[in-house]
A and B are shown apart, each in its own frame.
Chain A
């Protein structure tokens, strides 16, 4: 049984890798410029925030939770850094650390409510998404700069963290993503803490009886996703050179798409970092490749949505235990007869 599940998971990530490869080949055929390493690797600049956040939202979903507030934390962090630097004269690096702290606090607040009051995670994070995007507006009002303009004019050193490329090809963001993937992989699949997260998702009561502080574990996952959102906010601010309140507004749906496409069950207890990382790349490359092949940017939601539904539908039909066991049963019987 365990081997079967393991096999299935393996197959899914294999399928994702195949899809990614297929995408690269197809788009390379359509537009040879796409295959230039500089362009291909550079594309990650457009969707690195989705990649980073979805890695840690995976943790939340594995505990059986849901996080739709990460996008608004991105905006809150971004504008906080801007205001701290521009209007309060805080050093930019200190501002970044404070930004990370704000992200962690925001995540911890929602996580606290979810873990300690047993309100559905979706509802709390829905409230959180309103609250933090609202707070971002409040923070932006502290500044002299008009909110819609955004705060710009950051020091060169801060802007440089997202502009650098190794050998002029691989951007720093890609390295950050890889490093964070390893970190998340290590945390989730190689530590005791990761096992606790899985156990919380599989059976929270059993985990509680095993002596695990499930509340703390659940809360910590929201903190992690809040911090990753803050990090994405910092990267986006640096990359765009502007701190704005609505930076992460459109991120919520792609993040959930990436996590779920990566094979994480929204019921909890199942999921891998490798799957999420691959899935976020699949989505990002799909959008990038299509727009490079001349598809209108506004149409890009259609294939992404279709990809999500079709892949999950296929998976849910094929992993239907009753159906699979029925087929197996039939097969076994006919095998025994012959």
Chain B
């Protein structure tokens, strides 16, 4: 914003344009604004302990959002993440409760997540079932299997060691170790998507499937891997969920798919595919996780949680669409003006 004070109109305009173009920045500004407004109303909200708590409580959303963002970037959708999360949570929790070491439970959960992702991926990319239908079906199947596996009972009495995994803090700060690792994962995935050839396939497939095919990009394999990664991340989210909450019910993770998709959208990931970053998705998850805390601090009942979420989602998305359309129109006008200018000059040629 320092640039704005220089007074140069064109520079200001360009900076503003850039700001509006960087989709995560919109959500960052929004996040800061939300925290600032709530901080003015109730200064306790901006205390360090509360801020770190907000960060820490968004960890499950964040890891799942990273996974689903990959799928959304390839232009597909995965509504089975909630069920995958619940399944992984149930499996890891029962294994740990029955005495297995944590690493074994963790790998079992990841394996199951990868398997569910693989099934989704095969259905979508090879059998060509529309992704919403495929994952919807898998969602209900896995939901049912959770009941079969847990017999409809709660998994409780998890060992203390397992629960402390999510509580151990990074030395010197209030941030938990797992949140830190999730952020590291987000950065790694971000670099993978933006700096490696294979990573760029994801956006290419989502942006223009036909073009990607013509360029020789393995479209099916890319989609398949997106689903598998999404399954794995949802499974990790499930283990973290079990460790954080301390018990698992058969309906654990219900509705997570919608919340996580909302988080992605809030973070600027376009549902049309090809546009968006996992960093944006992480910020969106932070917004999603903060809303209920914000309500508490403003002094509203948490009944308003869904209303606010819905309003936010609609406002951000509509604002984004209107801005994009305006940008497109200005760009077209500029192009047109440039072209007609050329025609005038072109007479000499």
Q: Please report A residues at the B interface, Cβ cutoff 8 Å.
A: 66, 68, 113, 117-120, 122-124, 126-135, 137-138, 140-141, 147, 253, 256-257, 260, 265-267, 296, 298-302, 304-306, 308-309, 312-313, 316-317, 320
Contacts and interface: CB of A to CB of B under 8 A. Distances in A.
A229 B308 CA distance: 22
A120 B321 CA distance: 10
A118 B318 CA distance: 8
B218 interface: no
A122 B134 CA distance: 16
Contacts of B301: 141
A313 B123 CA distance: 8
B147 A298 contact: yes
A113 B133 contact: no
A120 B318 CA distance: 10
Contacts of B128: 316-317, 320
Contacts of B132: 66, 122, 256, 266
Nearest to A135: B307
Given A133-B306, A137-B306, 14 more contacts: A120-B272, A123-B271, A127-B314, A130-B310, A131-B307, A134-B303, A134-B305, A137-B307, A147-B303, A253-B139, A257-B137, A305-B144, A309-B138, A316-B127
Most central of A122, A123, A141 by chain B CB within 10 Å:
A123
Contacts of B262: 126-127, 130
B143 A301 contact: yes
B141 A130 contact: no
Contacts of A296: 147, 152
B129 A309 contact: yes
25 contacts: A113-B314, A118-B321, A119-B317, A120-B271, A120-B272, A122-B77, A123-B271, A127-B309, A127-B317, A128-B310, A129-B310, A130-B313, A133-B310, A138-B307, A140-B303, A260-B130, A266-B133, A296-B147, A298-B250, A302-B141, A306-B141, A309-B129, A309-B134, A312-B133, A316-B128
B310 A132 contact: yes
Contacts of B134: 309, 312
Most central of A113, A302, A320 by chain B CB within 10 Å:
A302
A131 B258 CA distance: 13
Nearest to B259: A130
A267 B128 CA distance: 13
Contact of B137 (A126, A134, A265, A308): A308
A298 B303 CA distance: 28
A309 B310 contact: no
Most central of B147, B250, B314 by chain A CB within 10 Å:
B314
A317 B126 CA distance: 9
Contacts of B258: 68, 126, 129-130
Interface in B135-149: 136-141, 143-145, 147-148
Contact of A298 (B144, B306, B318): B144
B138 A305 contact: yes
A66 B130 CA distance: 13
Main secondary structure of the interface of B (DSSP, over half): helix
Contacts of B309: 127, 130-131, 134
Contact of B140 (A137, A253, A266): A253
Given A127-B317, A141-B301, A317-B128, A257 B144 contact: no
Contacts of B136: 253, 256-257, 305, 308
Contacts of B303: 134, 137-138, 140-141, 147
B325 interface: yes
A132 B311 CA distance: 10
B114 to A, nearest CB: 19
Contacts of A267: 130
A127 B310 contact: yes
A64 B114 CA distance: 31
A137 B145 CA distance: 31
Contacts of A138: 303-304, 307
B322 interface: yes
Contacts of B320: 119
B314 A124 contact: yes
B265 interface: yes
Nearest to B147: A298
B87 to A, nearest CB: 13
A31 B333 CA distance: 70
Contacts of B141: 301-302, 305-306, 309
A313 B129 contact: yes
A117 B265 CA distance: 16
Most central of A66, A120, A130, A302 by chain B CB within 10 Å:
A130
B279 interface: no
